[in-house]
């Protein structure tokens, strides 16, 4: 026989889960290799997940090999799920401007190609407005013009599983040690 409180406990749990899900928003950003961008955002307060993937290309469901050719038109991006009560979209964008060089077209460091372009994909007009204003404000910190592309409503495609949490799962990988670790260390410095 079921406990009489069980149905109401289950209903309460379901309501709480639904309420938590309703407080989630997403930010889709590209600033070079998605392994680097993912590592910058993972573990930040208010961010619940970071998924590497592809967006703004010609065909649905691209593979890493498709994107690496530079012919698919996709950018390497991350989809950040966050709680806007704990971190704002604007704060996520502030970190974005600080974590990469938005003044270099189709390049971040040694990574070159259209897949490494600086891009913000807004989910809605409000996010696009915030992104456009943040870009103008961020320009004061750069001597060269910001070339970041801002789009709205573009579909996100998750990357292959071996790209997810790459830095955390592969701390001794040469790219992680040579590129990501110094970038993260620089972010820790005052």
Catalytic residue among 17, 33, 36, 68: 33
∠ CA 149-157-48, nearest 5°, is 85
On the CB side of 95, how many CA atoms lie within 13 Å of its CA?
Answer: 24
Q: What is the pLDDT of residue 15?
A: 41
Nearest Cα to Cα of residue 111 among 153, 67, 79, 141: 67
What are the residue boundaries of the structural domains of the chain, listed by start?
A: 24-188
Mean of all residue pLDDT scores within the chain: 88
Average pLDDT for 170-175? 88
24-188 CATH fold: 3.30.1060
**Between residues 22 and 136, which one has the greater pLDDT?**
136
Cα–Cα distance between 40 and 168 in angstroms, integer?
A: 11
For residue 52, is pLDDT > 70?
A: yes
Question: Using the 8-state DSSP alphabet, how is residue 60 labeled?
Answer: S
Q: Is 22 left (phi over 0), alpha (psi -120 to 50) or beta?
A: alpha
On the CB side of 41, how many CA atoms lie within 13 Å of its CA?
Answer: 36
Query: 3-state DSSP: the chain helix, strand, coil percent, rounded to 5?
Result: 45, 20, 35
Classify 17 as helix, strand or coil. helix
Residue 132 Cα to chain centre, angstroms: 17
> CB within 8 A of 139, min separation 6: which ones?
145, 146
For residue 8, is pLDDT > 50?
A: no
The reply to whether 36 belongs to the active site is no
pTM here?
0.85
**Between residues 188 and 87, which one has the greater pLDDT?**
87
Average pLDDT for 68-74? 93
Locus of tokens 């971040």: 108
Q: Is 45 left (phi over 0), alpha (psi -120 to 50) or beta?
A: beta
Q: What is the pLDDT of residue 16?
A: 45
For residue 28, is pLDDT > 90?
A: yes
Residue 6 Cα to chain centre, angstroms: 39
């Amino acid at each position: 026989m079921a406990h009489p409180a069980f149905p109401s406990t289950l209903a309460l749990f379901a309501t709480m889960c639904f309420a938590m899900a309703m407080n989630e928003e997403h930010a889709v950003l590209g600033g070079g290799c998605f392994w680097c961008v993912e590592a910058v955002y993972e573990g930040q307060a208010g961010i619940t997940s970071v998924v590497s993937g592809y967006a703004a290309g010609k065909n649905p469901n691209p593979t890493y090999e498709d994107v690496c050719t530079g012919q698919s038109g996709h950018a390497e991006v991350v989809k950040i799920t966050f709680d806007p009560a704990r971190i704002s979209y604007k704060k996520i964008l502030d970190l974005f401007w600080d974590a990469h060089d938005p003044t270099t077209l189709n390049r971040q460091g040694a990574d070159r190609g259209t897949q490494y372009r600086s891009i913000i994909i807004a989910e809605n007009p409000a996010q696009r407005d915030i992104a456009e204003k943040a870009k103008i404000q961020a320009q004061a910190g750069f001597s060269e013009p910001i070339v970041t592309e801002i789009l709205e409503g573009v579909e996100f495609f998750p990357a292959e599983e071996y790209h997810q949490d790459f830095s955390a799962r592969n701390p001794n990988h040469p790219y992680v040690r040579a590129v990501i670790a110094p970038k993260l260390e620089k972010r820790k410095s005052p």
